[in-house]
Structure 1
Amino acid sequence: MSDAMRPPPPPARKGKAKTPLGKKKYLYGYDAHLIVTRDTEHDAVLLDDGTPNPDVLPVVVLGVTLDKPGQRPAYNGLAVLDRLQERGYKPGYLAGDRAYNNSEPAEWQLPIRAMGYKPVYDYRADQLGEQNGTQGAILVEGRWYCPSMPKPLINATIDLHAERIDRETWIRLIAARRGYRLMPKQNADADGYQRMMCPAEAGKAQCSLKPHTMGRGPVKVCRQHAITIGPEAGAKQWQSLEYDGPQWQKIYFRLRNSVEGYNGYAKNPLAEAIEAAGSRRIRGIAASRPRPSSWPSSSPTPTAARS
């Protein structure tokens, strides 16, 4: 830290020090980035005798990194995920707070997809509705759709937040989107490229723009039988589940609630008490080197990240 950035020395007089007008008070601390595993298909419901269900995987912290507050969330998240991959942990659904999915795609979204994770994101209010496009297809709240999808369906979540529609109407509009969703023709390849068909080609809808009906369409997704969508297209917002749909809610909130629960446990003065300064007798980050033999060679696939 340069001299210009250092806080002023305390006053020489006795009594409680006061911060002079125009001066900033500096506080020091770290962000903890936790990687937590969670069974996304089952809740941890106890058996009738009060014991844990052995068929439900427990919530476990698999890794932690520390850094300056608000700094490099993507870098820190990937640092832990890389170590887990080296130890043989399998990728699964991946959820985190918005600090991660608002990173640059090359720093977070593309690397985690290349590692095999299936992202499940939440969005800010200004990120809802149509987010991106490629070859005529449009990305709406993380999924690819036909460009002919009506505006009321595209803006359904925006209208819900603005209280222009009620939740029951929103549910109906979201369900109607499925008829306009692009359908996968094949699984994504090792580089993340995937062939996708418009719903008319997939037999899910009728479209006057298809060549075998009433002429050629104006954009590639309408002219061709299928298009190839690469991982870079809409990378920042793309996700593997329909945003706020039933499966998204089940998986996203299970992952996020597990991480928030561990955050509370770590800060609880009767548990880990990481906020208690009296328990930290040294300054800085204490170095630790885990023994490789102490780590299991495989893991459950669901994983969650938190800054």
Structure 2
Amino acid sequence: MVEGTWYCPSQPQPLIDSTKDLYAERIDRETWTRRIEARKPYRLMPKENEDIDGYQRVMCPAVAGKVQCPLKPSSLGRGIHLPLVDPEPSPTGPVTVCRQRSVTIAPTAGAKHWQALEYGDEEWQKVYFRLRNSVEGYNGYAKNPLAEAIEASGSRRIRGIAAQTILLVFQLAHANRRKIKNWVETLALNGERPRRRTHHRRRTKPLGNWTPTGYLAPTG
């Protein structure tokens, strides 16, 4: 498993270390994006949907026609457009997924790090960035010093994690109520004009240009 997704055990090391190299500034963001895209052929492909207990059968990418591998001779000679896997010799022989056409993955295997979307690809960026924007936006809303001011510890003068948590819940509930009230006041109810004007949306950058260390530089 690499960053939440099951891949061929012989995936090239530079692809495995893509995000690590980005944070260490050994590669730039454009290179990171290309490496994330280059990972896709090495992903273990679903053969069946998950059963009622969460077990799922997945195929070796060579069997699925995504890569070529000498351990699966039938996958060779399919064209230079398919990556050629270079399995590392082992005294114990290939791992199970390399000896078989498919394997069953239990729901507990890698459950702590598993992600439904492939890390870093365009779909992941859109979902993650939208959720992150929502969370950070709400944090800023609730930290308003003229309203709930949840960042100010002086507004909760009591000891203990449990007590602090209960008081914070009341503050967040009040922030929710304030947000709903502000939204209702932008509606035209009973034929009357809304009491509050809606905010104009500010221009945003394309979600597909986002990386863990910032946006890609514009091209062209």
TM-score of the two chains, using structure 2 as the length reference? 0.58
Residue 204 of structure 1 corresponds to: 66
Residue 222 of structure 1 corresponds to: 98
CA distance in 1, matches of 2:110, 2:56: 13
The counterpart of 1:158, out of the listed 3, 20, 35, is 20
Consecutive unaligned residues of structure 2, counting only runs of 5 or more, are: 77-92, 171-220
The counterpart of 1:269, out of the listed 121, 145, 165, is 145
Aligned-CA RMSD value: 2.9
Residue 116 of structure 1 corresponds to: none
Asked if 2 retains the 8 angstrom alpha-carbon contact of 1:211 and 1:223, the reply is no
Aligned pair count? Answer: 149
Residue 131 of structure 2 corresponds to: 255
Using the TM superposition, give the Cα deviation of residue 282 of structure 1 relative to its aligned residue in structure 2, in angstroms. Answer: 9.4
Listed one character per residue, the Cα deviations across residues 224-283 of structure 1 (whole Å, up to 9, x for unaligned) are 121000121112211111212221121112112212222222221333344567877999
Relative to 1, partners in 2 of residues 1:270 and 1:233: Cα closer, same or farther, differing over 3 Å?
same
SS of structure 2 residue aligned to 1:239: coil
Matches for 1:226-241 after TM superposition, within 5 Å: 226-241=102-117
Asked if 2 retains the 8 angstrom alpha-carbon contact of 1:156 and 1:174, the reply is yes
Matches for 1:89-238 after TM superposition, within 5 Å: 139-210=1-72, 212=74, 218-238=94-114
CA distance in 1, matches of 2:37, 2:94: 27
What is the letter of the counterpart of residue 259 of structure 1?
V
CA distance in 2, matches of 1:203, 1:274: 53
Q: Which has the higher contact order (CA 8 A, sep 6+)?
A: 1
Relative to 1, partners in 2 of residues 1:276 and 1:167: Cα closer, same or farther, differing over 3 Å?
closer
Listed one character per residue, the Cα deviations across residues 187-230 of structure 1 (whole Å, up to 9, x for unaligned) are 1122221110011111112211026569xx72210121210001
Asked if 1 retains the 8 angstrom alpha-carbon contact of 2:143 and 2:150, the reply is yes
Asked if 2 retains the 8 angstrom alpha-carbon contact of 1:144 and 1:181, the reply is yes
Listed one character per residue, the Cα deviations across residues 136-160 of structure 1 (whole Å, up to 9, x for unaligned) are xxx0111111111111111122112
Larger fraction in strand: 1
Asked if 1 retains the 8 angstrom alpha-carbon contact of 2:67 and 2:75, the reply is no
Asked if 1 retains the 8 angstrom alpha-carbon contact of 2:62 and 2:75, the reply is no
Asked if 2 retains the 8 angstrom alpha-carbon contact of 1:160 and 1:166, the reply is yes
TM-score of the two chains, using structure 1 as the length reference? 0.43
Matches for 1:47-66 after TM superposition, within 5 Å: none
Q: State the percentage of identical aligned residues.
A: 72
CA distance in 2, matches of 1:193, 1:175: 27
CA distance in 2, matches of 1:199, 1:175: 15
